[in-house]
Structure 1
Amino acid sequence: MTDRIGATIKEIAAKHGIAVSRDDPILILQTINDRLMKDSAQAQEALIDRFREELEALAHRWSEDAKARAESVLNVTLAASKDAMVRGMEDGAQAAVDQVRAGVGPVIRRMEKQSRQVAAMNIAAAVTALIAAGLALLSAI
């Protein structure tokens, strides 16, 4: 502070050609002004720090809101995708069942026809065996 007062005395002498002593009232005003400037600077720094903290808190809230909204959109999208996949799988399964029915249906009908023929042949064989047993029984008497 003493160097500043000395520098001020030199500057006044150089600019205005007036010699000022250290106890001059103008230097008291200079000291008061310096003190006010220092206090003002400290107050401004405190305000800036508080403003920075508020901005950081606001940015954090915005970040959390954006994150929540993104998660919400993601969850809705995932649910829609899951529903679409389930519908697609159901449609695919139904199409596979229809194709199997279309491919197996004629085979089943052919097998039914062949089973009827085999059943008819078995009945004919049973009747023939019954007749043969009856004739054998008659010839044994």
Structure 2
Amino acid sequence: MTNEQLAQRVADLEARVTALEGIAEQAVAEAGGVISYQGRLSAPELEWSIILPANRVLGLPDGPRIEVLAALGHPVRAKVVRLLAAQGARSAAELQAEAEVGSTGQLYHHLKPLTAAGLVEQDGRGRYRLRATALVPALVLLAAAADIAGQLKP
């Protein structure tokens, strides 16, 4: 990377930060606060950033988000999500073995709520993966739950 390219990247990042700060300041003034999360992954290369007014988050219907939380609310399902996040797409046989699920029927029983909630999808080759748009949010949910449980304290 040349010095000129590096300078341009820095300028672009500064512009993005300024824009995000403006959005956040406006939201704080209008909504009494903001909720935000972001993430950047290297494999797959993905960057995600969300900033929402707190009152908008609190005003959303509970049904869809409860479906997502319920889908993650079982140890086998949480393990499947962690496996897919860490290792990428897996076949049903690989998931069954790695998640230590007794039968294919039990695995499908756990995949059904994960797919219904929009966390997991099947690719064209019959392998299961986290939806690209669900990857960072799912990791944020796992991190937030670990924070609430006190697992992130030093």
Which bin holds the TM-score, normalised by the shorter protein? under 0.3
Q: Which has the higher helix share?
A: 1
Structure number with greater CO (CA < 8 Å, separation at least 6) is 2
Q: TM-score, normalised by structure 2?
A: 0.19
